Amino acid sequence: MRPHFFPFLTQWMVRRWVKYLGLDEATKLMTWNNGDPGFSLRANTGRNITRADLVERLESLKVPHELSLHLEEFVRIKTGLQTVVQAGLLKEGFCSVQDESAGLIVSVVKPQPGERIMDACAAPGGKTLFMASCLKGQGMIYAMDVNEGRLRILGETAKSHQVDGLISTIHSDLRVFAETNEVQYDKVLLDAPCSGLGVLSKRADLRWNRKLEDMVELTKLQDELLDSASKLVKHDGVLVYSTCSIDTEENEGRVEAFLQRHPEFSIDPVTSFVPSSFVTSQGFFLSNPVKHSLDGAFAEIVIPNEGMPISKEHSKRGDLRINFEIGFPSRLTLEQKTDLKRVLGGSGIGN
């Protein structure tokens, strides 16, 4: 297949997908990426708002919707996001825009009341907020990011979601923090900066701006962050590594390389945490855009081996993320566009 058959993608992406997926699956994926994206809304259970409450509001606004098949807090919408914004549902913290693939990563983390969880690169904070709502008022999410301004926005959004007492922000680079702090956490989520190849239906800019050379730099950064995150996990804790990519090198490749460097860790399959259709033969979580009609995403759990010491060199876990620009409906006022960007975390689509 010649790359110019898909002019909306760079040639290296087309060749890479045909190589790894085969012609038929690559064609389906590229067709999906060129379609109109749908969105999901998450009911804010941190304010005791149920999905039924959200459905009632959507019906009153005449917004077409479908219930998520995978998560009890989520509702899918294909159209009507503009109506939701104009009605103030996001601004008032009634719900969030968040893809179900991101929600399923939170399912892999499985936050429990009383736990101390590090979200190592948290802004814009979609997963942070969801995890905080799972704590039922007990425990703490430590939201770390290098961007102080975006952490401030996360703090403001946490207030509207009424979970600000469960979130503590930390302005730092994970790599620096892990070298200078001895603190450890029950769970660490590292939602790593990545290529975003799982979300091209929402990130049209990446189709042209992402370069093959970026993959080398990103995998190097992902390795560094995984090493640092491992230093923050308790001896009986959990490290979750995730991306919004479907690229093997960024996903399975990074976990395999990490385990080679850190034999004191091992894989814990995600089988108990997500539906079986999302579990790979290796026990990883993978959301396939074509198969699941969701954004592409990946997650894996690694845990310290019982009885093996974790040194300062080989320890713990964390969370990072990539943010996705969205195109705003033209009829929104400037104030409404600003509100939507603030609620979504500056420029992020609910990761």
Known binding positions? 121-127, 145, 173, 191
Whole-angstrom distance, CA of residue 105 vs CA of residue 351: 10
The question of whether 244 is a catalytic residue gets the answer yes
Residue 223: C-alpha distances to residues 43, 197, 258, 318 (Å): 34, 18, 7, 12
Beta-carbon-side half-sphere exposure of residue 88 (alpha carbons within 13 Å): 2
Taking each helix axis from N to C terminus, what angle separates 148-160 and 126-134, rounded to the nearest 10 degrees?
Answer: 40
Which amino acid, 176? V
Q: Are 189 and 240 in contact (CB under 8 A)?
A: yes
What would the two tokens of residue 254 be?
Answer: 């990074």
Whole-angstrom distance, CA of residue 131 vs CA of residue 106: 7
Q: Give the torsion through C-alpha atoms of 264, 107, 202, 49, to 10 deg.
A: -150
Active-site choice (95, 134, 194, 244): 244
The radius of gyration computed from the CA coordinates of the chain, to the nearest angstrom, equals 19
Neighbours of 276 (CB within 10 A): 6
Continuous segment of H or E residues that includes residue 75: strand 74-77
Q: Is the dihedral of CA 289, 295, 301, 302 positive or negative?
A: positive
Residue 64: C-alpha distances to residues 55, 219, 244 (Å): 10, 40, 27
Could you give phi then psi for residue 108, rounded to 5 degrees?
A: -65, -40
Name the binding residues for S-adenosyl-L-methionine.
Answer: 121-127, 145, 173, 191
Q: Is the dihedral of CA 22, 23, 29, 33 positive or negative?
A: positive
| Strand ranges in 178-289 using DSSP code E only, listed in sequence order | 185-191, 233-243, 265-268, 285-287
Neighbours of 45 (CB within 10 A): 18
Active site residues: 244
